[in-house]
Homo-oligomer: A and B are copies of this chain.
Amino acid sequence: MKIAVLPGDGIGPEIVVEAVKVLHALDLSFELETAPVGGAAYAALGHPLPASTLKLAKDADAILFGAVGDWKYDNLERHLRPEQAILGLRKNLGLFANFRPAICYPELVGASSLKPELVAGLDILIIRELTGDIYFGQPRGRRIATDGNFPEAEEAFDTMRYSRPEIERIAHVAFQAARKRSKRVTSIDKANVLETFQFWKEVVTEVGQQYPDVALDHMYVDNAAMQLVKAPKKFDVIVTGNMFGDILSDEASMLTGSIGMLPSASLNASNQGLYEPSHGSAPDIAGQGIANPLATILSAAMMLRFSLNQEEAALRIENAVKSVLAQGLRTPDIYSEGTTRVSTIEMGNAVVKAL
């Protein structure tokens, strides 16, 4: 089992090291190799996704990823900025299926902005398409307009697009995931305005006919942004495109109040995957030893389940995380009165102990 370890920027290195510690504590043998990515890779090798890092990632069964981005790199040209690394990995490895659970742990209900009764027991799985849509659509760029509200003005443009097989494969992922849960899928679109999402809705509906045991409904993206706030527990599996998924998955994570707990997985057709916390690189707290490593540790669990076929080890990690929460251990982001404040390293050690 070959794992590429890409710590990245900000708190990335601190949290990844804890996840690696947890992996080593299992009775499994991995081949781990680390490489720079993001701003750290730009600083060391002049590019956020150096060829050597990309090769390592391609050759691995799975990638354990920290986070990228730091204010230091904000003024670089776009193609050199840290986030290009993550876009490049998604594209080059064909990681089209992004799994973003939004789970509210019972002990952490109080951390949510929402009233406790609205989030207690929350367990949504957002499935976001990750290699299509306006993120990668061509053509894009700048030009002089020839029509529109101001013909002859300078303009910038991008292309939103989805092809039938792109929609079909992510729909299958969603329906199959729903079969293992409560058998409900909500597909989010903007079919009332966009050609792309009218087509999306049609194709998802067609695929749905192959899953008569799964209930499918459709919702506009603006309404979904509202319903997530109003009654998030009404959702189970959500499937949507790359752009809407970016916005809604972040909104849903934040509803839990504990984004420091939420893992993510991005898979390709051969179940090779990239695993990373749902939160960012948080350069403001980097190096202080206070970052929450649990989202990354839980991402390692997803990695064992999805890419390495080690369901049992995945469950061991997930149970260990539940147990440290039950023990009352908390990094500062999830601390509340009456619990015990611990550092990044102490949290990692506690998970190892609980395994």
User: Which residues from chain A sit less than 8 Å from chain B, CB to CB?
Assistant: 78, 81, 83, 87, 94, 96, 113-115, 118, 131-132, 134-138, 140-142, 145, 147-150, 153-166, 190, 192-196, 198-200, 221-223, 225-226, 228-230, 243-244, 246-251, 253-255, 259
Determine if B160 and A164 form an interchain contact, defined as CB atoms under 8 angstroms apart.
no
Task: List chain B residues, Cβ under 8 A from A145.
Answer: 161, 163
CA distance A156 to B190 in the complex (A): 13
Q: Is there contact, CB below 8 Å, between A156 and B162?
A: yes
Question: Which B residue's beta carbon lies closest to that of A119?
Answer: B113
Task: List chain B residues, Cβ under 8 A from A196.
Answer: 156-158
Task: Decide if A225 touches B198 in the complex (CB within 8 Å).
Answer: no
Q: Tell me whether A194 and B155 are in contact (CB under 8 A).
A: no
**A135 contacts B254, C-beta separation under 8 Å:** no
Contact in complex: B160, A148 (CB < 8 Å): no
A81 touches which of B164, B165, B192 (Cβ 8 Å): B192
Does A163 lie within 8 Å of B150, measured CB to CB?
yes
Besides the known contacts A87-B193, A157-B196, 16 further A-B residue pairs in the complex with CB atoms under 8 A apart: A81-B192, A114-B114, A114-B229, A132-B148, A134-B193, A134-B194, A145-B161, A149-B165, A150-B163, A150-B164, A153-B163, A155-B163, A155-B199, A157-B159, A226-B254, A247-B247
For A164, the chain B residues whose CB sits under 8 A away are: 150, 153-155
Are B246 and A229 neighbours in the complex by a CB distance under 8 Å?
Answer: no
In the assembled complex, 7 residue pairs joining A and B whose CB atoms fall closer than 8 Å, in A order, are A81-B192, A94-B149, A156-B200, A158-B160, A158-B196, A226-B250, A226-B259
Give the docked Cα–Cα distance between A243 and B193 (Å). 10
Chain B residues near A162 (CB, 8 Å)? 155-157
**A195 contacts across to B, CB distance below 8 A:** 140-142, 156-158
- List, in ascending order, chain B residues with CB within 8 A of A135's CB: 193
Contact A148 B134 (CB under 8 A): no
Residues on B with C-beta less than 8 A from A160 are 134, 157-160
Given A157-B160, A158-B160, answer yes or no on A150-B166 (Cβ-Cβ < 8 Å).
yes
Question: Which B residues touch A255, using CB under 8 A?
Answer: 229
Q: Which residues does chain B contribute within 8 Å of A161, judged by CB atoms?
A: 145, 148, 155-158
A163 to chain B, nearest CB (A): 4
* Residues A246 and B222 in contact, CB atoms below 8 Å apart: yes
Closest B residue to A225 using CB positions: B251
A31 to chain B, nearest CB (A): 30
Please pick, from B118, B155, B198, B223, the residue contacting A78 in the complex, using a CB distance under 8 A.
Answer: B198
- Bound form: Cα–Cα A78–B201 in Å: 13
CA distance A221 to B225 in the complex (A): 12
How far, in Å, is A262 (CB) from chain B's closest CB?
12
CB neighbours (8 Å) of A147 from chain B are 138
Q: A134-B160, A193-B135 in contact; A250/B222 too (CB < 8 A)?
A: yes
- Distance of A119 Cα from B130 Cα, bound (Å): 34
Chain B residues with Cβ under 8 A from A163's Cβ? 145, 148-150, 153-155
Contacts of A251 in B (CB 8 A): 225-226, 228-229, 251
Specify which of B150, B156, B190, B221 is in contact with A199 (CB 8 Å cutoff).
Answer: B156
Task: Quote the shortest CB–CB distance from A160 to chain B (angstroms).
Answer: 4
Complex CA–CA separation, A135 to B274 (angstroms): 33
Q: Which residue of B lies closest to A279 (CB)?
A: B226
A346 to B66, CA, bound (A): 58
In the complex, are the beta carbons of B246 and A156 less than 8 A apart? no
